[in-house]
Homo-oligomer: A and B are copies of this chain.
């Protein structure tokens, strides 16, 4: 900023001590003794003058910028990138870090482009987070091995960089459990046809939980495009039959598909949840609240992943290299079910 900031020398002068002393008391430098009286005077002066250490000078001196960088692949298309950023930002603020953001294009292949990481290194960030979408495993550039780094949404193929992702499998299984618990025995699943980790994770969760309940029927699992139109098609394929043969619950790969299911149900004269319980996945605003009845769905831990990322990044920056061990397996964060009005409990 333009205005001349008050510097450490101003504080020293005001308190009648040396800048050394000011630095010591304000930073609470360990192994340093200062009389309480001096401390008090320094703090008073700093407070009074509104002194804040210049981060550039401090950073240059201690070789740490206090900045953490977040690279997001196509911030715009992922509906919840905002929540990741928010989680990262709030955690960063809590720890005194400044969050810098860099946006990248969507990257179809698993090799992360080193350009953005390099840009962050060039900017002296103390560490970096790379948030990807659509990948299981990724090979990270040299910069991410050389510096404190963390991955969101994908595992490091080399097992070196710690990573987080949603526990899609458990989230999907929990929905099946809830449905079974509510008395449903004919449970259908509208799977997604695009090949991403979420597709696979949710599908195996569904299959496992259904099998565990002795309720797995492959005929009730159909695969369609993960959009409203796909959900509509799945519902027509699954539900256009007499009530005796019909599933009483339809779990959808995502909320968009669930939207299509609502439309199909309306056309077929099926009431939700009276005739059909439906559950989505993603908790993608504004869908769940905009449907009638409101959609029961599964939330993704975007905020939590962002916070987790700067949290473990912070540990890495502090030199806690044990945290590198986290790179071996992705850390899975729970996807909580958020119950709204689209699931019926079947009479006993």
Interfacial residues, chain A to chain B (CB-CB below 8 A): 1-3, 52, 54-57, 59-60, 65-67, 75-76, 78-79, 81-83, 85-86, 89-90, 93, 98-103, 119, 121-127, 146-148, 227-229, 232, 256, 259-260, 263, 266-267, 284-287, 289-292, 303
Q: List 17 A-B contacts (CB under 8 A).
A: A1-B121, A1-B124, A1-B125, A55-B124, A60-B60, A76-B303, A78-B82, A90-B103, A93-B102, A99-B100, A99-B102, A101-B101, A227-B286, A228-B292, A229-B292, A256-B290, A259-B290
How many angstroms from the CA of A105 to the CA of B245 in the assembled complex? 51
Q: For residue A255, which residue of chain B has the nearest CB? A: B286
Residue ID in chain B nearest A88 by CB atoms = B101
By a CB distance below 8 angstroms, the chain B residues around A122 are 52, 55
Q: Which of B2, B60, B90, B286 contacts A79 (CB 8 A)?
A: B286
Q: Is the CB of A85 within 8 A of B56?
A: no
A290 touches B124 (CB 8 A): no
- B76 and A83: CB pair below 8 A? yes
* Residue numbers in B under 8 Å from A81 (CB-CB): 82
Task: Using known A-B contacts A1-B147, A82-B76, A86-B103, determine if residue A286 contacts B256 with beta carbons closer than 8 Å.
Answer: yes
In the complex, which residues of chain B have a beta carbon less than 8 angstroms from the beta carbon of A56?
56, 59-60, 65, 124
Known: A263-B292, A285-B79. A101 touches B102 (CB 8 A): no
Contact A103 B89 (CB under 8 A): yes
Q: How far apart are A321's CB and chain B's nearest CB, in angstroms?
A: 11
Enumerate chain B residues within 8 angstroms of A127, measured Cβ to Cβ: 1
Task: Determine whether the beta carbon of A85 is less than 8 Å from that of B93.
Answer: no
Q: How far is the CB of A78 from chain B (nearest CB, A)?
A: 8
**Protomer copies:** 2
Instruction: Select A89's contact among B102, B124, B227, B284, beta carbons within 8 Å.
Output: B102
A294: min CB distance to chain B, Å? 10
Q: A2-B146, A55-B123 are in contact. List 16 more A-B contacts (CB 8 A).
A: A1-B121, A1-B127, A2-B148, A56-B59, A79-B285, A79-B286, A90-B103, A99-B102, A100-B100, A100-B101, A228-B291, A229-B292, A260-B290, A263-B292, A286-B287, A287-B287
* A227, B289: Cβ atoms closer than 8 Å: yes
Q: Which residues of B contact A90 (CB under 8 A)?
A: 103
**Cross-chain contact B1 with A146 (CB below 8 angstroms):** yes
A103 CA to B1 CA, complexed, in Å: 20
Q: Is the CB of B82 within 8 A of A86?
A: no
Residues of B within 8 A of A83 (CB): 76
Closest to A254 in B: B286
Within the assembled complex, what's the spacing in Å between the Cα atoms of A76 and B300? Answer: 14
- Assess the B79–A98 pair: CB atoms within 8 A: no
State the 10 A-B residue pairs at the shortest beta-carbon distance, nearest first.
A228-B290, A1-B147, A56-B60, A52-B122, A56-B59, A89-B103, A259-B290, A76-B86, A75-B86, A82-B82
Q: How far is the CB of A263 from chain B (nearest CB, A)?
A: 7
